[in-house]
Every structure is written in structure tokens, then in C-alpha cells.
Amino acid sequence: MVQKLDRLKESPSQTAGPYVHIGTNPNSVEIKGVWNEDLGSRMLNTQTLGERIVLEGRVLDGSGAPLKDVLVEIWQADAQGLYPSPQEKRGKADPHFAGWGRQPVDPVTGIYHFETVKPGRVPYRDGRMMAPHVTFWLVSRGINLGLHTRLYFADEEEANAQCPVLARIEHTRRIPTLIASRSEANGLATYTFDIRLQGEGETVFFDI
Amino acid sequence: MSDDGSYFQRDRAWHPPAFTPDYKTSILRSPRFPLLSLDNTISELTGPVFGDALLGPLDNDLIRNYAKDGDPIGQRIVVYGRVLDENARAVPGALLEFWQANAGGRYRHRKETYLAAIDPNFGGCGRAITDSEGRYEFRTIKPGAYPWPNGVNDWRPAHIHFSVFGHAFAQRLITQMYFEGDPMIWQCPIVRTIPDKAAIEQLVAALDRNATLPMDALAYKFDIVLRGRRATMFENRPEGN
Ligand SMILES: [Fe+3]
């Protein structure tokens, strides 16, 4: 026998199941009055700095069908590229920006919808700048361990070309699975980002 | 100990794999390409933090936080424990959200079709934030087992779902708590997505007779472990942030 290491094992994951919204977004499933507002439902207020944008899309299974029960969380830097986190040592993030959002998808269409701001660039480990991006985390019935991916912006071609993370994707034809397309209506940009769990065009997921 | 280290690589043999055919829904929802390994950047080392100001006085009391005209039916229990990291250090300020079926095994949800009755006094959700020593507790009723569509006759053991936020998005975790002594644990296709018996046992809460509230509630202890960070004691790695 050898001495025991003072390490613990991470608790193993289990699926969020079909009723995850009872715990995370109870108001969205008609459990009213426990708390007033579902956490993560608003990322902005009137004073938030930066370009307001919408992120929209669906999460598709291996048959191409949109998931109706998936929960989507996002985490991103503010417009200046600072995270609202105590771990952020480079400066103070916009106090009017949450950085984190969480939404169920529409139970009929399967579309998620976030109102946020375009994030600024943040550095990679070696100081090179990553392209602006939004971290996505997906949980649902049938997903045994939450899936991490990133949304990048189609109109940031130059930054995307220099991004050290995108550069690590050996199969370059998979890079477009991380890039949201831009459309504009009434001066408001919407970025559309469909996530494919499996099959043709499977999204790149990260082991972080 | 530096605060700048990355999180330990996740032991993916300890977690359930994505593709677990006995749990049928995973078949079409599991990525087939390998995950792209990404050293933690500031995007993963940071994460949202939540303060106690978020919490209402009944947020950790599922017996009362939805009650309309009396207490919910069922075995009253207290669930308590600590949130730790892989270095066995407390994680203070962790937000835990929990949700569960009622004593009959029925969820309050429009998609739920199980015959067991809705309890008018039970909503089934709550939340807590760990204190400076990583401790949390809440009061609820023991959930019932319930059948679910997978095989023609599959049943879930009694369980409580947990969602946990640590200090970094890399630590984000959703899992489930089971109850000591429940024979239903070992026949469940969702439990069995976890390959290692010791890993499953890490999700089984212990009945704690000493923490019971006499003439009131049984108590179960459930500790949760989040990923831990590398210490950078002797390492002089350039940090990008
Ligand atoms: Fe459940």
C-alpha cells in the first residue's frame, strides 16, 4: 500500500432530465410564487454598455429534430472584454451586465433567445487575443454530462482567423459549426447559432 | 497556493459517457466526434457568482415555499452537506438549485403523465448558497420513485436533482442525489450510465440519525465535489491574464 492522496473525486454528473426547468426556471413552467424572476432571464438593463444583440437558434439531435426540453446557459465577457467575476483581475466589468444568461427553449419551436451585448475580446493563456465569443453550456434529458461549446461571430472574420482556440481545430471544415450568422432588422443584430449534437455538421464541443 | 491555476482535467471515465444506449434518449443526443481539449482560458476560469441577497427566506424550505393550505404529504426530511473541491477544500458561495417529484413520485410539470396525484402544497424546487465552510441545508419531503418511458417498465429510484455553480464556469455541474438503502438505485438505466460503482455510491446520501429532528424530520447528508484547481507552487508558467 502507498499513502493516500488528499484528493476527492468530482461528483459524477447525471442528466438534468426532462423537468430541469422546475429547478432552474420554475416560472417558465407555471410554478409561480416560489421566486419572482427566473435566474438568468435578464442580462441587461438600460445602462448596459455596448452593442445590443440577440442570440437565437435551436439545438438539434442526430435526426435533425430540435430539442424542446433543453436548457441553454451562456457566459460571456462584457463589451470591453471583461468578465463580471471575482476571478477577473484585469479590470472591473460593467456593473450593469450580468455576463451569464439562462433560457429554456420555446416548447413549440425549440428556439432559444438571448438579449445581450456583443462581447469584447479576451486573451488566451499566452496573451494572444481570442476572437469575441460566447460560451454555451447545454443540459437536457439524454445529455449525461453538460456540453460546452462556443459561439463566434460571422462578422469578426479577422479576429476569428487569429483566434488561438479556433486555430486548434485540426479539422478546419468543422470551424463553421461555431460561427453564428448575422442578420439585421430595425438596427438590431441577430446572430443565429444552431447547435447540432450529432450527425452531419456536428458542432465542435470542448473538453475544458 | 496561487489562484491562477487551471482546473484538473475532468476524469471522463468517472462520469457517464455521452452515448449510453440503455438510456435511449442519449442515443440521438450524444456527440460522436471527440471533444476538443481546451486548456482553461479566462472564459472557463471565471463564472457567475450569486450573493445571499438573491435568496428569500423560504428558498430552502420546500415544505413551505409553495404551500397553499397546509403542509405537503410525505416523509419530512432535512438534506444537508458541504460543497468541496477535488482538493478537499470548502467551496463557499456556491449556488445550489434542487428540484424533485412529490412524495408520490409526481412532478409538477405539464409534460408529466404519471398517474400519481399532484400535491397542491408542493412545488418541488428550492435553492441555497453555501456558507464560508461550504455548508448548505434544506428541508423537503422525501420524493417517491416513478416510472418513466424508456423500457416498457423502467422506474427511477427516489432522487433529488441538483444544479451547482462553483466559482468558475468550468465547475458547472448537474447531478442527482439518491437515498441510502434504496434497492431501486441499482436497476435504474440512468444511474447505470455511470460506469463505476464507487462513482454511483458518491451520489448516495447517507441517513444521519444524529441530525434528525426528533418528532419532525429524518436527515440525509449529501456532499458534492466540484472540480479542483491546480496549485502553481513551483510552476512559473506564463499566465495570459
Ligand atoms: Fe427526476
The string of DSSP codes covering B149-200 is SSSTTEEEPSEEEEEEE-SSGGG-EEEEEEETT-GGGGG-TTGGGS--HHHH
Res A27 pLDDT > 90:
yes
Residue numbers in B near A85 (CB within 8 A):
46-49, 167
pLDDT in tens, A41-68: 999 999 999 999 999 999 999 999 999 9
Average pLDDT for B122-144: 98
Average pLDDT for A170-197: 96
Identify the pLDDT of residue B87. 96
- Please tell me the least confidently modeled range out of B2-11, B39-48, B194-203: B2-11
Selection from B60, B57, B62, B65 nearest residue B74 by Cα: B62
Confidence of residue B241 (pLDDT cuts 50, 70, 90): very low
pLDDT in tens, A121-168: 999 999 999 999 999 999 999 999 999 999 999 999 999 999 999 999
B84 sits in the region (left: phi over 0; alpha: psi -120 to 50; else beta) called beta
Q: What is the number of other CB atoms lying within 10 angstroms of the CB of residue A175?
A: 15
Cβ atoms of A195 and A151 within 8 Å: the answer is no
Closest CA in chain A for residue B17 = A144
Grouping H, G, I as helix, E, B as strand and the rest as coil, residue A180 is strand
Res B234 pLDDT > 70:
no
Identify the pLDDT of residue B139. 98
In sequence order, what are the beta bridge partners of B119?
A: none
Res A82 pLDDT > 90:
yes
3-state SS track over B215-235: CCEEEEECCEEECCECCCCCC
Whether A142 sits inside 8 A of B224 (CB atoms) is no
Selection from B94, B169, B164 nearest residue A76 by Cα: B169
Res A23 pLDDT > 60:
yes
Residues with Cβ within 8 Å of residue A131, at least 6 apart in sequence: A121, A152, A153, A156, A159, A160, A162, A163, A165, A166
Average pLDDT for B117-130: 97
The partner residue sitting opposite A63, judged by closest CB among B28, B110, B175, is B28
Identify the pLDDT of residue A37. 94
Mean pLDDT (chain B) is: 94
Res B236 pLDDT > 70:
no
Average pLDDT for B33-55: 96
Which ranges of chain A does DSSP label H, i.e. alpha helix?
20-24, 157-162
Known catalytic residues of B are 107, 146, 156, 159, 161
Residue with cell 438539434: A60
What count of CB pairs under 8 Å joins A to B?
Answer: 277
Q: What is the pTM assigned to this prediction?
A: 0.96
3-state SS track over B56-111: CCCCCECCCCCCCCCCCCCCEEEEEEEEEECCCCECCCCEEEEECCCCCCCCCCCC
Positive or negative torsion for Cα B129, B133, B139, B142: positive
Strand A111-117 and strand A52-60: the pairing is: antiparallel
Whether A147 sits inside 8 A of B31 (CB atoms) is yes
Q: C-alpha grid cell for residue B85?
A: 473541491
Res B237 pLDDT > 80:
no
Average pLDDT for A179-196: 96
B215 sits in the region (left: phi over 0; alpha: psi -120 to 50; else beta) called left
pLDDT in tens, B80-93: 999 999 999 999 99
Res B112 pLDDT > 90:
no
Report the gap between the CA of A110 and the closest CA in chain B (Å): 15
Structure ipTM = 0.96
Identify the pLDDT of residue B111. 86
pLDDT in tens, B185-233: 999 999 999 999 999 999 999 999 999 999 999 999 999 999 999 986 5
Confidence of residue A24 (pLDDT cuts 50, 70, 90): very high
Tell which of A7, A13, A42, A168 to mutate to test the B interface (max B CBs under 10 Å).
A13
Is the Cβ of B23 closer than 8 Å to some Cβ of chain A?
yes
Identify the pLDDT of residue B232. 64
Report the gap between the CA of B218 and the closest CA in chain A (Å): 23
Closest CA in chain B for residue A136 = B169
Percent with pLDDT over 90 in chain B = 91
Confidence of residue A11 (pLDDT cuts 50, 70, 90): very high
Is the Cβ of B227 closer than 8 Å to some Cβ of chain A?
yes
Residues with Cβ within 8 Å of residue A158, at least 6 apart in sequence: none
